[in-house]
Amino acid sequence: MTDLLTANPVVDDLAARFAEAGHRLYLVGGSVRDALLGRLGTDLDFTTDARPEQIMELVKGWADAVWDTGIAFGTVGAAKAGRTCEITTFRADAYDRVSRNPEVRFGDTIEGDLVRRDFTVNAMAVDLATKRLIDPHGGEAALDSRVLDTPATPQESFADDPLRMLRAARFISQLCFVPAPRVVEAMTAMSAEILRITPERVQAEIAKLLCGDDPRGGVELLVDTGLAEHVLPEVPAMRLEIDEHHQHKDVYEHSLVVLDQAVELEAADPDFAGPDLVLRLAALLHDIGKPDTRRHVPGGGVSFHHHEVVGAKMVRKRLRALRFSKEITEDVARLVFLHLRFHGYGKGEWTDSAVRRYVTDAGDLLPRLHKLVRADCTTRNKRKAGALQRTYDGLEERIERIAADEDLARVRPDIDGNEIMRLLGLRPGPQVGQAWRFLKELRLDKGPLERDEAVQALYGWAAERGLVVPTACPSEPAEPHEVDRGGGDDQAG
């Protein structure tokens, strides 16, 4: 196994230090798996017969940095020459099978350490003294055949730590593996055990799953085994609904196709910088409002009016429950809310005002909205699909043209808040914000205005509300006048 690792001074140096101290050191787990796949990274996992205090002594003076945040679990971290090393004493843990937290027990053999690991492809080690592969559970063969299985029985493995069921779906996505039949059987029978896991850990696995190379495969495993009923119940709920625009597939299948196409559009983007979790969440969840808005219409049709509004609310509720960040939650919800608006564009009937509103409402999410809308065009009718894509091409061209003329990326009223206060003699308060919003709506409707025109419009707005306005020429600075501010002086505008 001498060719498993390329020449690596960090690995060789560390192995030599442990050998000199009479200890064995092994590269283990995901690091061995990735090395066999030809993609060993800079984060390296090791296991050893040395106890945590001995590991600390061995890496002191050698590593550039050392941390002991995991020492209670037998893990010492070290950084050396751009590599991050986690070195863990052999483990032989016992689980109470109520929580997922083990009673930490240190082991004495590499074989005992490997059998407790989650999957056979992660249950291999390399003895760094001999460069020999240790593979008691057929991990290399499983890697070659792309099969995901467990070292012990899957029932034992998942009872010890139910999070491993989500990890199985995540590895299906990341590594494009196929789960062993017994793994699927155990996941199906034990899916409710996932309720032992905290929302934060569930969220982390779902995020990694969606950012894999085959997120559809991971989602399908969650749904087929019943795990999704406990972590993303809105997704399997879509299997029962027929989309009025796509009679050939239910909403669930349609959503998986949209997810696939969003991934393809990401990869085709010349500015692609890696998987986009927000876009992928929006693609998967964009139609989750349909089950709650389904209505039968005369003639045997089905409608889902305002499913984008209901869906956005459902997205917020689910992502908050999974402890996603406020930023991710709001971005996904807004994309879901906006994804259907393009279908009112027809063959280009929108006014420039409607185009401005589309861009302004999307804000910095516009590039993602472009991808989501294009991914959502999933009809089997190639002529119709081509027409939809050409229509969206036309919308993007209009956006670019108007943006070039009007700086659409930063649509603001033609008069700012300070100028509003000066012109109307207002102090900071709700009326300033109301005036600002009026001018912004005017800007969206008519495009950029000359200053005099904007001032006259502001004065007209103020007069309709009984505010006293200056009589000076709008092009000259106006003296503040006392106005009725409705008791809102102390509120922010």
Q: Which amino acid is at 491?
A: Q
Outline where 135-293 has alpha helix (H). Answer: 139-145, 154-160, 163-175, 181-190, 199-210, 215-225, 228-231, 234-237, 251-268, 277-285, 290-293
The two structure tokens encoding residue 371? 């991808």
The two structure tokens encoding residue 363? 């804000």
What is the model's pLDDT at position 471?
57
Give the whole-angstrom CA distance, residue 464 versus residue 467.
Answer: 8
Beta strand 295-297 with 301-303: parallel, antiparallel or unpaired?
antiparallel
* Chain-centre distance for alpha carbon 374: 19
Q: What CATH superfamily is the domain 9-144?
A: Beta Polymerase, domain 2 (3.30.460.10)
Residues in the chain: 493
Over residues 478-492, the pLDDT tens digits come to: 444 443 333 333 333
What is the model's pLDDT at position 94?
65
Q: C-alpha angle 309/435/477, rounded to 5°?
A: 155
What is the model's pLDDT at position 411?
56
Give the whole-angstrom CA distance, residue 388 versus residue 347.
Answer: 9
What is the model's pLDDT at position 67?
94
Give the relative orientation of helices 215-225 and 251-268 as an angle to the nearest 10 degrees: 160
Helix (H) or strand (E) holding 94: strand 94-95
Report the percentage of the chain scoring pLDDT > 70: 85
What is the model's pLDDT at position 493?
35
What is the model's pLDDT at position 182?
98
Average pLDDT along the chain? 86
Closest CA to 114 of 131, 91, 88, 98: 91
The reported pTM is 0.78
What is the model's pLDDT at position 477?
45
What is the model's pLDDT at position 492?
35
Give the whole-angstrom CA distance, residue 124 versus residue 137.
Answer: 8
| 162 in Cβ contact with 190 (< 8 Å) | yes
Outline where 339-464 has alpha helix (H). Answer: 352-362, 366-375, 382-406, 417-424, 430-446, 451-464
The two structure tokens encoding residue 246? 């796509």
Residues of the chain with pLDDT under 70: 1-7, 93-102, 240-249, 299-301, 303, 380, 404-414, 468-493
How many other CB atoms are found less than 10 A from the CB of residue 111? 14
Residues of the chain with CATH 3.30.460.10: 9-144
